[in-house]
Amino acid sequence: MRSVLQVLQKNPFDSIGGVESVSLGFDKAFEALGIESGYLFIGKATSVPGRRVFTLRYMFSALSCDFGCCSPFALSRFVRSFDGILVHHPSPFLLLVLALTGVRFDVYYHSDIVRQRLTGTLIFPLIVECMARSRRIFVSSPNYAQGSPTLGLFRKKIRLLVPSADEGLLTVTPDEEIVSRVPKPYFLFLGADRSYKSLSTISRAAELADDGGYMYVLAGPGTDRYEGPNLLALGEVGVESKAALLRGCLGVVLVSSSRAEALGVCLIEGLMFGKPLVTTRIHSGPSYVNVDGVTGYSVAVGDPVALNEACRKLFSREIPGVESSSANRFSRLFSSDAFCHSVASYFRMSV
């Protein structure tokens, strides 16, 4: 392919969530492979240097889905000017729009529609019909594909394409001042405060860590509303602070309560820095990234006692060589080189 259009709900250069991070990873891989990358999203008209961009004018949001409008003729002409199209799902409205254009497209399936269960049930036939029109469906982990009712209908189309983390974090000059604000060795949560992230479980685990010699740090939008003993909630932090916190932590904690947590890019970032992980058994991406007893521990959902016990064991270094195991797993499965190689195998020679 000479050019690939990425389709997603939000401008990935303005709103960096999990979907947007994966999209930017594709952008870097396409650039390294000499493939032109374009974008279609909903929002304000904008320009991105070196990229062709088409925006649908934002109309409204409903049930975590943005809706927009545009000239159907201009949209069709823009979409058809690319050799390949990659739709980042969940984005039911844009998936439908692409299906109606009649073009062939691939889907990067980030997650099922989990939180809006009624909505997911109502539009399930629509999603299935759109998926049926796709060429290939890429997933971030085999665990997620095995547990998805939608993906179970399209086994022959599924391809594994594991995203990487931004390795630029390794060379960022860290903001050591933020680490100096943490009075004890710490385990780190990175991410926005979402209900399925179960930050209350981390808060309760912190109450149990009085004599452990360590504490918990929360960093990300909305996290600063939490407080308590052995807990420091920093709120949103910049890239330099993020790099410093990752470099200085004992391990990365992600104890999500549902499959709305499709992967957990922060876990891959933790491996990149050679850090152990603590995750929950939710049979999705985190269970693939973190190998229980090798790169960290996997605990039951909503169990602060088990979480704190896992952190205590890591603090006591009860898994020999866990740091090197984490770094090795990153290099083998999640590095930018591994991702770029996978992208090349799927897109460079694809017609």
* Structural domains of the chain in order of their starting residue, each with its CATH number: 3-164+336-348 (3.40.50.2000), 167-333 (3.40.50.2000)
Residue corresponding to tokens 């405060």: 193
Sheet holding 215-219, edge to edge: 231-235, 215-219, 186-190, 251-254, 277-280, 296-299
Kindly tell me the sign of the dihedral angle through the C-alpha atoms of 121, 127, 129, 131.
Answer: negative
φ/ψ of 51, rounded to 5, equals -130, 140
Q: Rounded to whole angstroms, how far apart are CA atoms 213 and 205? A: 13
Predicted confidence at residue 115, as pLDDT, reads: 58
**Residues, the chain:** 351
- For residue 15, which amino acid is it? S
pLDDT higher than 60, residue 123: yes
- Averaged over 70-91, what is the pLDDT? 92
Cβ(110)–Cβ(264) below 8 Å? no
φ/ψ of 68, rounded to 5, equals -145, 175
pLDDT higher than 50, residue 351: no
Query: pLDDT for 260-306, tens place per residue?
Result: 888 889 999 999 999 999 999 988 889 999 999 999 999 999 999 99
- Averaged over 89-107, what is the pLDDT? 87
- Averaged over 86-106, what is the pLDDT? 88
- For residue 187, which amino acid is it? F
Helix axes 92-101, 72-79, angle to 10 degrees: 80
- Averaged over 88-99, what is the pLDDT? 86
Cβ(261)–Cβ(286) below 8 Å? yes
Strands (E), 209-348: 215-219, 231-235, 251-254, 277-280, 296-299
pLDDT higher than 80, residue 150: yes
Cβ(252)–Cβ(277) below 8 Å? yes
pLDDT classification of 59: cutoffs 50, 70, 90: confident
Residues 6+ apart with CB under 8 A from 158: 136, 137, 138, 139, 145, 151
pLDDT higher than 90, residue 149: no
- Averaged over 128-154, what is the pLDDT? 89
- Averaged over 108-132, what is the pLDDT? 76
Residue corresponding to tokens 């904690």: 253
Helices and strands (H and E) in the chain: how many: 13, 14
Among 168, 138, 170, 140, residue whose Cα is nearest residue 154: 138
Strand partners, 5: 38, 85
φ/ψ of 266, rounded to 5, equals -60, -30
Three-state DSSP at 176 gives: helix
pLDDT classification of 15: cutoffs 50, 70, 90: low
**Residue with the larger pLDDT of the pair 55 and 117:** 55
